[in-house]
Every structure is written in structure tokens, then in C-alpha cells.
């Protein structure tokens, strides 16, 4: 079910009368026994049919527009060269090739950018986990006077738009001598209040008895964290990791300010640079699409792989009631 190649999922016409998750047939009056087409013929039948048709239309349109940019991106990337003068709206490419991908890699130095993007995002992720897990543990289980105030302060940092901190951060990073370096791309994101918050919410669900037992067994702080808290919080850690990676990999404003030299451009920056200064003449949309597709892939892969776990992790953070 995590295969991306299902652009036309079955629209609900056939399946809608079946019982749904939120509406189990258990306990429903006999007249609404789901599945059988017979009850639909009744007075309420026409209304239900109209509702079904409405749903089908909404879903078909929704899926169409959700996928259109992706489909168009792929169609253009695999098709022949296209400039503003030779645009086409023909959904079937005249010829299919990987040529545009090759050129995107060469012209936008996408290979280099991808390495930078992945390394920077992973470094941010590791730092965030190292800083957030201990802090989340304290906010969940270690009381001290003023904890509520400190936690409130942590949450308040979520209010500050990144554009506001960008200016002083640029000054700080420059003063530390990290301007225009990969370290400078990582440091400002070394911790995340959002990660602390999510992890803390999840950690509060660890049973008291487990922590008590750990304590009676004489487990030290670090061992408790390593052998009890972290393994038990794995779903939340996975969720936080995925969001962290996606956010850092797609970050645009900070690299735009910080990474002045093309050698340390992140993927989005490399793509925009290529768009604004094509190597010759007009931008080639095939190459741009190939580039867009390439830089979208890491996020999509992470998202697809993590999709199921993500929902599980979210449920654990208190969403599941």
C-alpha cells in the first residue's frame, strides 16, 4: 500500500455502502444493514445515491488536482527538451528519455546538492534528538520548581517566525566563523521546541510502574534513558525524525541567506539557481522538471516509507484519545 504507482485509487461508488471504520454496522438498526444493495432502493435510497455520487465527484476531483502537478512534472521530465517557445500541453510526451535527468545533474550540480542536503538534514536530526530526548524526559517526568514556566518558554519559541530569527542568526553564525559553511546550515536548527513537545507528550504515557521498576533495579539516569525511555518512545521518535528530516531538507530561506557559495547549496537552492540562470538561453523545462523530481524524491521516499509508522506515532502522542 505504500506503492506510489496508484494514481487512480478506486473511487467509492462500489465500496461506499460497506461499513466504514467510524460507523461500524454493529448496533445499527436492521434497516441499515450495510453491504446489501436492497435498502438503497427505499425512500432514503435516492438521497444516499446522490450522496455517493457527490462523494465520488469530490474524491475524483481531489485526487486529480492533487496529482496533476506531480504527473505534469514527471511527464515533462521524461519528455524531450521544452523551452518557453516550444511548450506543449500534450499529456503524452513525443519521446521518452532520461536525458533531462542527466543534464539536471550536470547543470545544477544536483548530486553535490543532494549530498549536502541529506548530510545537513541528518546532522540536524541527530542534534535535535540528542537535545530533545533528555529535555522531553525532564518535562515529562522530572519535576522541579518553575518547570511549567520553562516549558511554557520552550513552547513560546514556536511562536517566533523563522524570518525573524534569520537576521540575528546570520550575525551569530558569522561571528562564530561559520558563515557560508555546512556547519552554519546545521547549527540554528540544533534543537526544536516542536520535537521536545511531541516527545514529551508521548513520554508521559510511559507507565509509572516501568520507571519505578527501573529505579528499584538501580538503573542510572543514562541507562534508564537508553534502555527504557528511548525504546518505549520509539514511535514518537520515528515521527519526530521524519518531520525533522522533511522540514530541514525542504528549508529554503536559511540556506538562501547562509549558503552563498554554490558548493554548499542545498537541493531547493540549486534548483532555483538553475531556473534563474540557465546555462544557455531560455530555461529548459524538461531539465527543470527533472531537477524538481530529483529533489522531491528523498522527501517522497521518506514520507512513503514512514507513512504507516507516522500515523501510529501520532496516535501515541495523545491524538488517538
Partner 1 sequence: MRAKMRKRGERGDRGDERAVSAGASERSGRPRYEDGRAASAAPKRTRNIAGVGGWRVGALLFPALLGLTVFVLGPALVSAFTAGTDKTLTGPSFQWVGTANLREAFHDPDFGKSVVNTLLYCVLTVVPAVVVGLALALATQKVVRGRGALRLALFLPVSANLVAIAVVFAYMFDPSPKGLVNTFIGWLGAQPRNWLGDESTSLPVVALVGGWRLTSFVFVVYLAGLTAIPASVYEAADVDGIRGFARLRHVTLPLLAPTTIFLAVFTTILTLQTFETVAVLTDGGPFRSSATIVYYIFEVGFTGSFRIGYASALALLLILGIVLIGIVGSVLGRRARERAARIDETGAGLGADGDPGLALAGVGAGPGIAAEAAR
Q: Which residues from 25-84 bind partner 1, rule CB under 8 A?
A: 27-29, 32, 44, 47-48, 51, 54-55, 58-59, 62-63, 65-67, 69-70, 72-73, 76, 82, 84
For residue 88, give Cα distances in angstroms to 34, 62, 73, 76, 162: 48, 24, 13, 9, 39
| Binding track, positions 242-281, relative to partner 1; x by CB under 8 A | -x--xx-xx-xx--xx---------xx--xx--x------
Least Å distance, CB 287 to partner 1, is 11
Contact between residue 289 and residue 296 where contact means Cβ atoms under 8 Å apart? no
For the chain, give percent helix, strand, coil, nearest 5. Answer: 70, 0, 30
All cell numbers assigned to 225: 534513558
Under rule CB under 8 A, residue 233 binds partner 1: no
Under rule CB under 8 A, residue 161 binds partner 1: yes
Least Å distance, CB 176 to partner 1, is 10
3-class DSSP state for residue 18?
A: coil
Count interface residues toward partner 1 (CB under 8 A): 137
Interface pick for partner 1 out of 179, 183, 312, 314 (rule CB under 8 A) = 314
Compare residues 66 and 115 and give the one whose CB is closer to partner 1: 66
Rounded to whole angstroms, how far apart are CA atoms 79 and 97?
6
CA-nearest of 298, 296, 222, 290 to 81 is: 290
Under rule CB under 8 A, residue 175 binds partner 1: no
Under rule CB under 8 A, residue 1 binds partner 1: yes
State phi, psi for 23 to the nearest 5 degrees.
-135, 70
Interface pick for partner 1 out of 118, 183, 310, 312 (rule CB under 8 A) = 310
- 76-135: contacts with partner 1 (CB under 8 A): 76, 82, 84-89, 127, 130-132, 134-135
Least Å distance, CB 183 to partner 1, is 13
Rounded to whole angstroms, how far apart are CA atoms 148 and 25?
45
Rounded to whole angstroms, how far apart are CA atoms 93 and 91?
6
Amino acid at each position: 500500500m505504500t506503492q506510489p504507482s496508484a494514481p487512480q485509487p478506486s473511487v467509492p461508488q462500489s465500496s461506499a455502502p460497506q461499513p466504514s471504520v467510524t460507523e461500524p454496522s454493529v448496533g445499527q438498526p436492521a434497516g441499515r444493514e450495510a453491504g446489501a444493495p436492497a435498502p438503497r432502493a427505499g425512500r432514503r435510497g435516492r438521497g444516499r445515491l446522490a450522496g455517493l455520487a457527490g462523494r465520488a465527484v469530490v474524491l475524483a476531483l481531489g485526487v486529480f488536482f492533487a496529482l496533476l502537478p506531480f504527473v505534469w512534472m514527471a511527464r515533462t521530465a521524461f519528455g524531450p527538451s521544452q523551452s518557453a517557445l516550444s511548450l506543449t500541453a500534450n499529456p503524452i510526451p513525443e519521446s521518452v528519455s532520461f536525458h533531462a535527468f542527466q543534464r539536471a545533474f550536470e547543470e545544477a550540480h544536483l548530486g553535490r546538492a543532494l549530498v549536502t542536503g541529506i548530510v545537513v538534514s541528518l546532522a540536524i536530526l541527530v542534534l535535535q534528538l540528542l537535545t530533545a530526548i533528555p529535555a522531553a524526559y525532564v518535562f515529562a517526568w522530572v519535576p522541579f520548581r518553575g518547570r511549567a514556566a520553562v516549558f511554557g518558554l520552550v513552547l513560546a519559541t514556536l511562536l517566533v517566525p523563522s524570518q525573524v530569527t534569520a537576521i540575528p542568526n546570520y550575525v551569530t553564525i558569522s561571528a562564530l566563523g561559520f558563515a557560508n559553511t555546512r556547519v552554519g546550515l546545521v547549527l540554528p536548527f540544533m534543537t526544536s521546541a516542536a520535537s521536545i513537545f511531541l516527545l514529551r507528550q508521548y513520554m508521559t504515557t510511559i507507565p509509572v510502574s516501568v520507571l519505578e521498576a527501573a529505579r528499584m533495579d538501580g538503573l542510572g539516569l543514562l541507562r534508564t534513558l537508553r534502555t527504557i525511555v528511548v525504546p518505549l518512545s520509539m514511535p514518537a521518535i520515528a515521527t519526530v525524525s521524519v518531520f525533522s528530516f522533511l522540514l530541514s531538507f525542504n528549508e529554503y530561506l536559511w540556506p538562501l541567506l547562509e549558503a552563498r557559495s554554490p558548493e554548499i547549496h542545498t537541493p531547493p537552492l540549486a534548483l532555483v539557481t538553475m531556473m534563474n540562470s540557465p546555462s544557455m538561453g531560455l530555461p529548459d523545462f524538461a531539465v527543470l522538471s527533472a531537477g524538481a523530481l530529483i529533489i522531491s524524491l528523498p522527501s517522497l521516499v521518506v514520507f512513503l516509507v514512514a507513512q504507516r509508522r507516522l500515523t501510529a506515532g501520532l496516535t501515541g502522542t495523545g491524538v488517538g484519545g
